[in-house]
Amino acid sequence: MKSLWVFIFYISLLYPESPYVLTGREVIVYLPNYCVKRGYSLSKELARVADKIDYIIYAFAKPQALPKQALPGNVQRAIVELDNPNIDIGTKRDGKIRGNFAELKRLKKKFPHIKILLSVGGWAYKDLFNQIAEDNRLDELAQSCVDILSHTLIDGKKYKYEGLFDGIDIDWEFDKKGAEKYGIAFEKFIKKVREVLNKVDANYIYTMVLQPSSYFFEGPMALNLKKIASHLDWINLMAYNFHGLWEKETGFNAPIYGTTSDDKCCINYAIKQFKRHGVPSKKVALGVPFYGHSYKNVDRKNKGPNQTFTGGASAKDFGMKTLTIAKPGNIRFEDIEKLLKKRKHEYVLSWDNQARSSWIYNKKRKIFVSYDDERALKEKVRYCRKKGLGGVMIWEASGDSSSGTLIRTLGDALKL
């Protein structure tokens, strides 16, 4: 028995648990830099609900593998760059900070309780992470992940923004093949970033994004989940896209429970897997979507769920050209709210007691939309409390209505 406790002690030294940062009441909001392109204002819409927000995760910075032939042998080749400097720091190249970073600095000064993290990666850049792993340059990338929290170099000029970012978020996403190939490298990279962070500032907050996919819970990566969590302050769980247009029938975007006893496409299954693999509940922030999946040519049977369809619904299908639908099938809550205000008589709002999920259906236009309304979000707050989760993560801020309907709903519910 004594030897067992000695073993546990040494394991704790190898993988020490950082103090829990989340208490179960926090609102964590992703803010993609491109949201300003569609008119979202950080000084207006975001500031309007800033008192409800605890953490902003600014997305994204870009991992970059520099070409080998262009550099001397010992030059660092794996770096992190700003995704869009013109949006992030402004268009003038005089060393001064403008753009979104300047807006965020002003916001932080007005609301000093807010912590801001910089997210590195995103689905669009997963292959760049993979390439850097192939080149054995992840240690270099880890250093650059930390460097970019305080400054960046553009055309030889150093742009400083110390004090803006309080930490970093790693968003290295995987498909099945990538998860199998880079699982070990991923854990080592996550650990290395923590080591570099602690050398620079031990108070930096450190998080990562994780998909609720089978290859995290049942494949090679599952063995590393507890280790990965030990390096982090928390994990942002992407608890959405459980069903979508890639399937043959309509389904719920972000259900809490499955519609059958063996249904793994739901939040509850993912949370069970975290527990099974030893990830502390307080280190999980439950992701909620501020968008829905919309389907067209859906039979009226059952008012839409589990029916065949022919594609994603566009603004034309909805009969409202003012809707800002960039890609048919994805619709932001802001547009859903506009739709229900102007065409409320056409849409039936329904609730699934088993899945604990909301949706609307238009029998005339044969459109089905699965999304989270206020009731669904309150239900998820109750679920977070029941399971002892760390808080709620939002993807993403600009999906909300201009008045901040959903952020206010979450903030008020979590603070009760």
pLDDT (tens digit per residue) in 128-138: 999 999 999 99
Which has more pLDDT, 74 or 377? 377
Residue 183 is predicted with a pLDDT of 87
CATH architecture of 292-371: Roll (3.10)
Cα angle 329, 330, 334; round to 5:
135
pLDDT in tens, 241-258: 999 999 999 999 999 999
Cα angle 409, 242, 397; round to 5:
35
- Listed in order, the ranges of the chain carrying CATH 3.10.50.10 are 292-371
Looking at residues 177-203, what average pLDDT do you find?
A: 94
Estimate the crossing angle of helix 267-276 against helix 374-387, to 10 degrees: 20
Sorting pLDDT into bands at 50, 70 and 90, what band is 390?
very high
Q: How many CA atoms lie within 13 A of 285 on its CB side?
A: 33
> Highest mean pLDDT: which of 140-144, 180-184, 299-303?
140-144
Distance CA 43, CA 36 (A): 11
pLDDT in tens, 7-55: 444 444 444 455 689 999 999 999 999 999 999 999 999 999 999 999 9
Is the Cβ–Cβ distance between 390 and 26 less than 8 Å? yes
Sorting pLDDT into bands at 50, 70 and 90, what band is 311?
very high
* Token pair listed for 317: 């299908």
The pTM is what? 0.93
Distance CA 215, CA 232 (A): 20
DSSP 278: T
For a pLDDT cut of 90, what percent of the chain falls above it? 83
For residue 62, the SS3 value is: strand
Residue 24 is predicted with a pLDDT of 96
Looking at residues 200-204, what average pLDDT do you find?
A: 95
Sorting pLDDT into bands at 50, 70 and 90, what band is 63?
very high
For a pLDDT cut of 70, what percent of the chain falls above it? 93
* Token pair listed for 307: 């029916």
DSSP secondary structure, 70-112, as one string: GS-TTS--EEEEES-HHHHT-S--SS---HHHHHHHHHHHHST
- Listed in order, the ranges of the chain carrying CATH 3.20.20.80 are 19-290+372-415
Least confident of 10-24, 163-177, 179-193, 206-220: 10-24
What are the C-alpha distances in Å from 152 to residues 55, 133, 220? 22, 23, 36
Distance CA 295, CA 297 (A): 7
Residue 308 is predicted with a pLDDT of 97
Class (C level, CATH) for 19-290+372-415: alpha beta
Sorting pLDDT into bands at 50, 70 and 90, what band is 152?
very high
* Token pair listed for 130: 């993979």
Residue 214 is predicted with a pLDDT of 87
Residue 37 is predicted with a pLDDT of 93
Looking at residues 184-188, what average pLDDT do you find?
A: 93
Residue 131 is predicted with a pLDDT of 92
Helix H or strand E encompassing 322:
none
How many other β-carbons are positioned within 10 Å of the β-carbon of residue 68? 10
